[in-house]
Amino acid sequence: MNQFHVIVFGPLVGFLIAGLFGRRIGDRASMLLTSLLVSLSAVLSIPVFIDTAFSGGQFSVPVLEWVQVGMLHFTWSLHVDTLTAVMLVVVTVVSSLVHWYSIGYMDEDPDKPRFFAYLSLFTFAMLMLVSADNLVQTFFGWEGVGLASYLLIGFWFKKPSANAAAIKAFVVNRVGDFGFSLGIFALFMVTGSVGFEKIFAKVPSLAQADFIFLGHQAHALTVIGVLLFIGAMGKSAQILLHTWLPDAMEGPTPVSALIHAATMVTAGVFLVARMSPLYEHAPAAADLVTFIGATTAFFAATVGLVQNDIKRVIAYSTCSQLGYMFVAAGVSAYGAAIFHLFTHAFFKALLFLGAGSVIHAMHHEQDMRRMGGLRPMIPLTYLMMIVGTLALTGFPLTAGYFSKDSIIEAAFAHGGSIGEYAFVMTVVAAALTSFYSWRLIFLTFHGRPRASEEVLAHVHESPAVMTIPLMVLAAGALFAGWGFHEFFVGEARGEFWNGALAAGGGRVLDHIHHLPWTITYLPTVMMVLGFVIAFWFYLANPAVPVALAQRMNGLYRFLLNKWYFDELYDLLFVRPAFRIGRALWKIGDGRIIDGLGPDGVARAVMAGAARIRRIQTGCIYTYAFAMLIGVVLLVATVMLAERGF
């Protein structure tokens, strides 16, 4: 066993021990064991990142022989390159910090071993996903994080809303996963392999290949790229398959930080980046990725403007930032997409865990309308939230400034109608992001306190086990962009990525360093504009947003109800599905199958038995009479037969 096996399988060991023996070894042992094993994975991932990213090279670490069926032959191996190394650091570092943070946050929960077991299971599945060297292994990790997400979102299973949110996440992701699985089947059909190395070797020869899809001749790689992206849309909560993400906030806040900020929701971006050689030969599919990403960035930002739940605001922010990542991937700036994924993990996990610290201090209150004035009561949490907000909004020299601005510039440099659309949407989203982010800060920490005196009397700063992870994440939110932008998107990117990503983004990333200054500074101007408007609305003149909401009530309700996607899906899919299910149950199963089948036969047998039972009187003369009738009938039959009747 080498360090790669420890990195990937260490969390699995923690899951098995805490999950099977947690009640026997106790809460403290379960929490410490799982946290230490994930932390060990994080510690070992850092030298892997340094060696792989800066020394170059790609290699696979075999685990075992897996499938040998006809033409389908592949092993279970851990593929290690720069992209894998980046994801290993993101997943293990954020997961370890979330584990330690959860020791304080979940202190009062009676079922801590189960929670920490689920966290470790999720970490293992995510590590399997990012280290896979073939699509089947990727799909194994993909479904594993889906299962762990379901378990963690519904962790408080006695809450109906938590159960409903878990089911919703599971079902919506299955829609995307169906597209992903079809994409895997199609790739195997045209390449004869599911291994990345063999697929990428054959992709150039398939650049002009067509096949029949849904009765029509279609470009093979375009169809495959779209199918794979449908899977990415579900996992990364892009518009049309995004509805599960806000409801997933029903899980404990550490879950939101781990799954819905830094790791699972970035799996779709990782998939598109991993399959970048394919998308370079499927420009129509890449344009779709760009369009959906840009639309999601704008859509989610508009919804975040009016949300009142502190976690839902950050959730829609996540949805929007994922849209930015897909814009970068769609315009072939894959390094910029992974760069934003990398920096976003730090500042978004910081914001979610900071929100958890606020909720912990406010006795699980999440409505910002019942907060306010918390800055002097929880000053460290306030400072950490400020750092996260600065990075999210793209304040100069913070992590978000380098990564998000590079995406906006890449969209402009790409050109064409799709590039212009993405540029406009992401610039507008930058202003909206700044507004709702500072709105969260002002409503939560500034102004007069709006909570009850009983709640305010018990507000206190979170313990060190919760605040230390916040400070570590804050350091990443401040310095990760400044320290790594040259390697992800700068002049050193070629040596850094060393073939882990398709080289098609080189042209776009070269151009972003030679754009007009008006384009370069436009995102910063939008960031300042959003801050000024939020300051005016919520500190200088709080009556303005109230009056504006009343004057534009239709638009306000439209945004508050999330563009009515849930209501539309309920009308188009949920209610018809229930009606069909009820009809199949009541009519198909109840009346037809049971009525004509088991119930009908049983009823006929019972009725016949009741009639036959009346013959059984127990009297000898009755039986003698029956026998006499039988003899008469037998004799009559024989006589008639002899006479030819």
Instruction: Summarize pLDDT for 504-553 with one digit per residue, the tens.
Output: 656 788 888 888 889 999 999 999 999 999 999 999 999 999 999 999 99
Output b/e per residue, 430-448; b: 16+ Cβ within 10 A.
bbbbbbbbbbbbbbbbbbe
- Tell me the per-residue pLDDT of 124-179, one tens digit each, with 9 for 90 and over: 999 999 999 999 999 999 999 999 999 999 998 888 999 999 999 999 999 999 99
**pLDDT category of residue 110 using cuts at 50, 70 and 90:** confident
Distance CA 78, CA 242 (A): 30
Q: What is the reported pLDDT for 68?
A: 81
Helices (H) and strands (E) in the chain, counts: 30, 4
- Tell me the per-residue pLDDT of 602-626, one tens digit each, with 9 for 90 and over: 778 888 888 877 777 778 877 788 8
Nearest to 34 by CA among 89, 90, 114, 144: 114
Distance CA 469, CA 471 (A): 5
Q: What is the reported pLDDT for 576?
A: 92
**CA gyration radius, the chain:** 31
Nearest to 519 by CA among 412, 420, 432, 419: 412
Higher pLDDT, residue 283 or 615: 283
- Tell me the per-residue pLDDT of 323-382, one tens digit each, with 9 for 90 and over: 999 999 999 999 999 999 999 999 999 999 999 999 988 888 889 999 988 999 999 999
Distance CA 628, CA 636 (A): 12
Distance CA 527, CA 390 (A): 9
Confidence check: pLDDT of 1 > 70: no
- Tell me the per-residue pLDDT of 5-62, one tens digit each, with 9 for 90 and over: 999 999 999 999 999 999 899 999 999 999 999 999 999 999 999 888 777 678 888 8
Write the CB contacts of 374 (distance below 8 Å, at least 6 apart in sequence): 358, 361, 362, 381, 382, 444, 445, 449, 459
Q: What is the reported pLDDT for 589?
A: 81
Query: How many angstroms from the chain centroid is the CA of residue 426?
Result: 21
Evaluate whether 390 touches 351 at the Cβ level (below 8 Å): no
| Bridge partner list, 217 | 212
Q: What is the reported pLDDT for 407?
A: 95
Nearest to 226 by CA among 205, 243, 240: 240
- Tell me the per-residue pLDDT of 567-597, one tens digit each, with 9 for 90 and over: 999 999 989 999 998 988 888 887 788 777 7
Q: What is the reported pLDDT for 504?
A: 61
Confidence check: pLDDT of 389 > 90: yes
What is the DSSP code string of 297-329?
HHHHHHHHTT--BHHHHHHHHHHHHHHHHHHHH
Q: What is the reported pLDDT for 514?
A: 83
Q: What is the reported pLDDT for 283?
A: 93
Q: What is the reported pLDDT for 173?
A: 92
